[in-house]
Amino acid sequence: MKVLITLLMGLFSVAIIAQDKSEGYQFETIYDLDATCVKDQYRSGTCWSFSGLGFFESEMIRLGKNPANLSEMFVVRHCYSDKAEKYVRLHGSLNFAGGGAFHDVVYVLKNYGMVPEDVYSGLNYGEKNHVHGEMDEVLKGYVDGVLKNRNKKLTTAWKNGLEGILDAYLGELPETFEVEGKTYTPQRYVKEAMGINPDDYIQVSSYSHHPFYSKFIIEVPDNWMWGEVYNVPLDDLMSIFENSLKSGYTVGWAADVSEKGFSYRNGLAIVPESNIEELADSEQSKWEAMTEAERQKRLYSFDEPVTEMKITQEIRQEAYDNYETTDDHGMQITGMVKDQNGTIYYKVKNSWNTNNKYEGYLYASDAFVRYKTMSIMIHKDALTKELKKKLGIK
Q: Provide the strand spans (E) within 206-328.
A: 214-217, 228-231, 251-255, 262-263, 268-269
pLDDT, position 280: 53
Which range is least confidently modeled, 4-8, 30-34, 50-54, 125-129? Answer: 4-8
More confident position, 110 or 14? 110
> Rounded mean pLDDT of the chain?
91
**CA dist 144 → 85, 164, 225 (Å):** 12, 16, 19
- For residues 136 and 178, state if they share a domain: yes
Q: Of the candidates 150, 173, 196, which is a domain's last residue?
A: 196
Average pLDDT, integer, range 169-179: 98
- For residues 172 and 115, state if they share a domain: yes
Share of the chain above pLDDT 90, in %: 86
- For residues 188 and 205, state if they share a domain: no
- For residues 52 and 92, state if they share a domain: yes
Rounded CA-CA distance 287/307 in Å is 11
- For residues 149 and 163, state if they share a domain: yes
- For residues 252 and 393, state if they share a domain: yes
- For residues 82 and 95, state if they share a domain: yes
| CATH number where 250 lies | 3.90.70.10
Average pLDDT, integer, range 94-120: 98
192-235, pLDDT tens digit by residue? 999 999 999 999 999 999 999 999 999 999 999 999 999 999 99
226-250, pLDDT tens digit by residue? 999 999 999 999 999 999 999 999 9
- For residues 170 and 102, state if they share a domain: yes
pLDDT, position 130: 98
CB 124 within 8 A of CB 170: yes
Residue 160 inside a domain? The answer is yes
Query: What is residue 352's DSSP assignment?
Result: B
34-55, pLDDT tens digit by residue? 999 999 999 999 999 999 999 9
Average pLDDT, integer, range 5-26: 48
Q: Which domain holds residue 55?
A: 39-196
Count of domains observed in the chain: 2
On the question of pLDDT at 9 being above 60, the answer is no
Rounded CA-CA distance 190/197 in Å is 8
- For residues 211 and 332, state if they share a domain: yes
- For residues 239 and 372, state if they share a domain: yes
On the question of pLDDT at 12 being above 50, the answer is no
- For residues 343 and 241, state if they share a domain: yes
More confident position, 282 or 310? 310
- For residues 89 and 125, state if they share a domain: yes
Q: Of the candidates 196, 211, 232, which is a domain's last residue?
A: 196
Q: pLDDT confidence of 389, banded at 50, 70, 90?
A: very high
Residue 391 inside a domain? The answer is yes
CB 71 within 8 A of CB 50: no
Q: Provide the strand spans (E) within the chain.
A: 28-32, 177-179, 182-184, 201-205, 214-217, 228-231, 251-255, 262-263, 268-269, 329-338, 344-349, 361-365, 373-379
